[in-house]
Structure 1
C-alpha cells in the first residue's frame, strides 16, 4: 500500500497555519485541506487516541467480562483480542492525509455522493449523537457524586446545570477543533494516565490474580461468552470509522505506517490497560456498580480525583465524537458552518441526556439499540478498509469534494452500487447471526454463539472486492 499520494514538489509546512491554530476556531469543515496548510507529525495522533480511551466505559466493559462468567485471564485475553481491531482504525486514518479530507467525504468513493449522505446520516451522525448522549450521562453520574461530596445536594436544577457544564466544556473543544485537540490531548493523556496509575495500584492490592468463577461456562456456552466479549470490546474501535478526521491535516508525504501505527497504538494501549483494570477489579468488588464499588478500595483522599478523572476522560472521548458528528452533518448536505453543526449535535445530545436522566429510561432504549450497532459498524469498517487496500490509499481529495452530477464519484444516480450493495448484504448477514436484543437464526443454530461481527465484516469486504474493482480503477488517482 502506498504511503500517500506522492507530491515531491510540495513544501512541508513547518509552522501551524492560521486555519488550524489551537487558540483559534478551526476554519475548515469537510472542505479539502490544501498542501500549504498541512502540518504536524503522525506521532501527535498517539495522545489524541490515548486520551479518548482512558475512560470509564473501558473500565465498565472490562468488569463486565468477569461478570459474564469468564476467569480473570480469559477476560484479559478477550480484551487483547478485541482491541486488535484498532489496527483497522489506524488503517482508515491513513486515508486522511492521502485525500486531505475527513472520512465523511472520503466515503463518497465507497457509496457515491448521494449514497454517502445516507451513510453519514445513519452510520455517522445518528450513531455519534447516541454515543455522545450515553457518554454524557456516564460523566454526569460521576459529576453528581462529586457535587454531593462538595456538600451540594444534586437536585434537578443542579443536575441540569452539571450536564450543561460538561457538555459546554466538551463542545468548546470540538468547536475550536483540530488544532486545540492536538494541543490539549497530550496533557490530558498524562493527567489521566497519572490518575489511573493510582487506581491500578489500589486495584492490584485487592485483586485475586487466580480468580475463576465457581461455575464457569463450558463448551458452546464458553464460546458464546468469549465471542460476545470480543464483539463487545471490538465495538469500540469499530465505531471509529472517522479516524481520518484527525489525521487529514498531516502532510500527504507522511508515512502511512506511522499514521496507522501511532493511531492504533494510542488507542490499543490505554484500552487494554483500563479494561484489564476493570477485570482485575471485578475479582475484588462488585462491578455491577463500578463507580461506587471502586470507591471501596481507593484511598479516601483520591476518590474526588477519581471522579474528576472519569469526567475528564469522558469529555475527551465525547469531544472527538461531537467533532466528527459535526462533519457528518455537513456531509449529509446541510449548508452550515462546522461550528454550528457541532453545537446542534451537542444540543440534541444534551436534550437526550436530560430526558433520559430526569424523565424516563430513554437512555436504556438508546443503549439497547447500540448493543446491536456492531451489525452496522462492522460492515462499514470492512468496506472502508477494503477500499483503501484496493485503491492503494490513493484518493483525489478535490474530486471527492465535488458533489455535482459531473463528479467522478457520482457513479449512477449518485450511488456506487458496489459499495451500497456490499454494505447492505453485510449488514443483513450480520443481522442473521445476532444474539443480543434478539436471537438470529444462525445464532440459534450455533447454540447462542453470536458471529455477527466476523460474518458481517467478511461478507461486506468479500463482496466489495468482487463488485468494487471496476469502480475503484475508474476513480483511483
Structure 2
C-alpha cells in the first residue's frame, strides 16, 4: 500500500493569509457574472436574487471548515477521504472528484477562450474556427506550464493577479451601478421561494462550496499545525465569499440592461459591450489571467487524485493527459454543443450530487471523529489490509446519491421523481447532502464505528 502520502513537516510553514490569496484567485474569475445571471433566470425578484447570491457565496464556509482536515491530517483531501470510505472504497468518490476537477478545468478554459475571442474582436481581429482552436490550444498550454509551479510560486503569482483583478472588478462595478436600470430591477416580481429561490441557491452551492470542498485540504496541508483553526476557516471562507458575492451581484445588475444575457452564444461579448473600450481591454486581459488561476488549482488537485487512485504516472505525463482532455472537451463545447451554459449547468447539477454526498459524509465523519482523534496513519495507508473498505461511509454516500438522482433531471438524465418543485433544478443535490449526512450518523451508531 502507498505509505509516502504525507507532506514533509519542513514544508508545513504556511500562514492563514496565504490561503486567502489562493482561494480568492479561484473565485474571482468572470464566471461569477454568469452565476448572477443564472440566479435571475429562476424568475426571482432583485432582493431574492441578491439574497440567493449571499447564501450561495456563503457556502464557501464548507471549504473553510474542511481546510482544518489538511492541517490535522497532514495530507491531501482524497488521501484523508480514505479514512471515511476505506483505502479501496475511496476509489469511486475519488474518481468523481477527479471528474469534477477536470470538468472545471474545461469550463474555465472554454470561458477563457471566449474571453480571448472577445478581446481579439475589440482589437479588430476577425475570429473564426481557426483562431478559436488556436486560442484554445494556447490557453491549455499556458495552464499546463503553470502546473509546474511550486507551491510558493503559486501563492505569490495568484495573490498578485487576485488583487489586480479585484481592483478592476470594483471599477467595473462602479460603471455597472451607473448603467443599471433600477426601475426594471425593483419591478421584478417575487419568485417562489421553494421552486425558485432554493434551486437558485443550490446551483450556486454546487459550483462553489461543494465543488471546491474536494480540494480544501490540498492547500491547507501546507499550513503550520500550530496555526489558529479560526484564522484558517475565516481566511478561506472570506476568500471565496467576497469575490463571489460581488461578482454575482454584478451579474444580477447586468441582466437589467441585457435581459437575454444567458441566451447569447458568447456571454463574454455582453460583458465587454457594457464597458467603455479603454476599460474593456485591460479588464478582459486581467480576467483572462484570472481564469487561468482556478484551472491551475484544479490541475494540481486532479494530478493528486490520479495518485490517490494509484495511477502511477510522472508529472509530465499527468499534465499531458489533462491537457488532451481539456482540448477534447473544449472543442466539443465550442463547436458541437448548442449551448455552453446549458452544458455548464447540467455538469454542475450531476457531478454536484456525487460531490454533495461525499462532502456530507466527509464533514459528518470529521465532526464526529477526526477533529478529536485525528487521522491515524493506518486508516490512510491500508497497512496490513486495515480499513480497505469502510462500509459505513460507502453506503451512506451511495444511498444519498441514489436518492438525489431520483429527484434530478437535466439534458443527460431524468429521475422518476423529478417533477413539480424538483423539475429542472438542482434540489436533488440538497437532498443528497442532507440524507448522506443523516445516513452516516445512523449507520455509525448501528455498526458502532470507531474513531480508529
Deviation at 1:254, TM superposition (A): 1.9
1:80 aligns to 2:54 (yes or no): yes
CA distance in 2, matches of 1:347, 1:313: 22
CA distance in 1, matches of 2:129, 2:308: 37
1:228 aligns to 2:199 (yes or no): yes
Deviates more, 1:232-241 or 1:156-165: 156-165
Residue among 53, 64, 83 paired with 2:38: 64
1:378 counterpart residue number? 356
Q: Is contact 2:17–2:235 with CA below 8 Å preserved after alignment?
A: yes
Give the direction of change, closer, same or farther, for the CA distance of 1:192–1:400 in structure 2 (3 Å limit). farther
1:463 aligns to 2:439 (yes or no): yes
Deviation at 1:132, TM superposition (A): 1.2
Deviation at 1:158, TM superposition (A): 2.7
Please give the secondary structure, in 1, of the residue aligned with 2:408.
coil
Deviation at 1:356, TM superposition (A): 3.2
Residue among 387, 399, 402 paired with 1:428: 402
* CA displacement 1:395-421 (0-9 Å, x = unmatched): 3364355245x154x2xxx22101110
CA distance in 2, matches of 1:277, 1:326: 34
1:270 aligns to 2:238 (yes or no): no
1:396 aligns to 2:375 (yes or no): yes
* CA displacement 1:54-94 (0-9 Å, x = unmatched): 11211011022223321222100001111221111111111
Give the number of the structure whose residues are more often helix, by fraction. 2
Q: Is contact 1:142–1:291 with CA below 8 Å preserved after alignment?
A: yes
Give the direction of change, closer, same or farther, for the CA distance of 1:436–1:225 in structure 2 (3 Å limit). farther
CA distance in 2, matches of 1:73, 1:466: 39
CA distance in 1, matches of 2:159, 2:396: 38
1:299 counterpart residue number? 276
Q: Is contact 1:391–1:472 with CA below 8 Å preserved after alignment?
A: no
Structure 2 unaligned regions, length at least 5: none
Q: Which runs of 4+ in 1 moved over 6 A?
A: none
Structure 1 unaligned regions, length at least 5: 1-28
Deviates more, 1:93-102 or 1:463-472: 463-472
Q: How many aligned positions are there?
A: 439
Deviation at 1:117, TM superposition (A): 1.6
Residue among 167, 173, 176 paired with 1:200: 173
Please give the secondary structure, in 1, of the residue aligned with 2:148.
helix
Please give the secondary structure, in 1, of the residue aligned with 2:107.
helix
CA distance in 2, matches of 1:35, 1:314: 32
Give the TM-score normalised by the residue count of structure 2.
Answer: 0.89
Please give the secondary structure, in 1, of the residue aligned with 2:147.
helix
CA distance in 2, matches of 1:407, 1:338: 28
Give the direction of change, closer, same or farther, for the CA distance of 1:358–1:386 in structure 2 (3 Å limit). same
Please give the secondary structure, in 2, of the residue aligned with 1:175.
coil
Give the direction of change, closer, same or farther, for the CA distance of 1:177–1:403 in structure 2 (3 Å limit). farther
Q: Is contact 2:118–2:269 with CA below 8 Å preserved after alignment?
A: no
Give the TM-score normalised by the residue count of structure 1.
Answer: 0.85
